[in-house]
Amino acid sequence: MIKKCKTAILISGSGTNLQAFINAIEENNLNLYIAIVLSNDNNAYGLERAKSAGIKTVCVESSKFKNRESFDRAVIKELEDYKPELLILAGFMRILSPIFVRKYSGKILNIHPSLLPKYPGLDTHQRAIEAKEKWHGSTVHFVTADLDRGPRILQGRITINPNETPYELKKRVQKIEHYIYPLAAKWVTSGKAVFKNGECWIDGKISKDPLQIIF
């Protein structure tokens, strides 16, 4: 039997990406299991999704910490009970300190709702519409201490529809995220995608540009 990768998923909100992982696991489509779901917000609906799926949850309320490092140390302490081999950030609205990133170097994935390097940060859908971009989408990348700049693994691309609102665009982007995030995680757990010397390697070759799927 193939050993499954012990994974922690970190959330702050609704958790539709977490749900995509839960569904993919139920469909036997992933070589990982979710040992723990951690939220920095007790009201995150994703915690309910995890509980419904019988997954352990823990909340480390970020509002109770006086600075980023003390919060990150508390998160590390919780996670260390599980010794995760992979960390999946799924709408985790916290900037991670270098202490955290070093601790799990090469083992943290994030999904960002833009075609990185375009539009790091917030309000990506609105900014892409305002800039009259033709293309938009989402990027799965390894996390480094450089916010939204870690080596990119996979992008899902869509064209922006005429007169589309940021909300409509966000909904369409989320749909593709639910496909590309579990797929990229599968590449990582199978060793197809690897973080090495600060770069993403795919099938043994440095991958300067992410693989792309057009939807």
- The total of other beta-carbon atoms located within 10 Å of residue 84's CB is 23
Q: Among residues 112, 136, 141, 178, which one is catalytic?
A: 112
173-203 exposure pattern, b = at least 16 Cβ within 10 A, e = fewer: bbebbbbbbbbbbbbbbeeebbbeeeebbee
| Maximum Cα interatomic distance, the chain, rounded to a whole number of Å | 51
At 110, give phi and psi (nearest 5°).
-135, 155
Residue 108 binds ligand GRF (CB under 6 A):
no
Instruction: Report the residue number, 97 or 138, with the smaller CB distance to ligand GRF.
Output: 138
Helix (H) or strand (E) holding 176: helix 166-190
Whether 125 is a known active-site residue: answer no
The reply to whether 41 sits near ligand GRF by the rule CB under 6 A is: no
Footprint of ligand GRF on 172-191 (CB under 6 A): 174, 177
Residue from 37, 55, 86, 91 binding ligand GRF (CB under 6 A): 91
Is residue 148 part of the contact set for ligand GRF (CB under 6 A)?
no
Nearest distance, CB of residue 152 and ligand GRF, angstroms: 13
Question: Would you say 155 and 137 are in contact if contact means Cβ atoms under 8 Å apart?
Answer: yes
Residue nearest to ligand GRF (CB): 91
Catalytic residue numbers read 112
Q: Which residues bind ligand GRF (CB under 6 A)?
A: 13-17, 46, 90-91, 111-113, 138, 174, 177
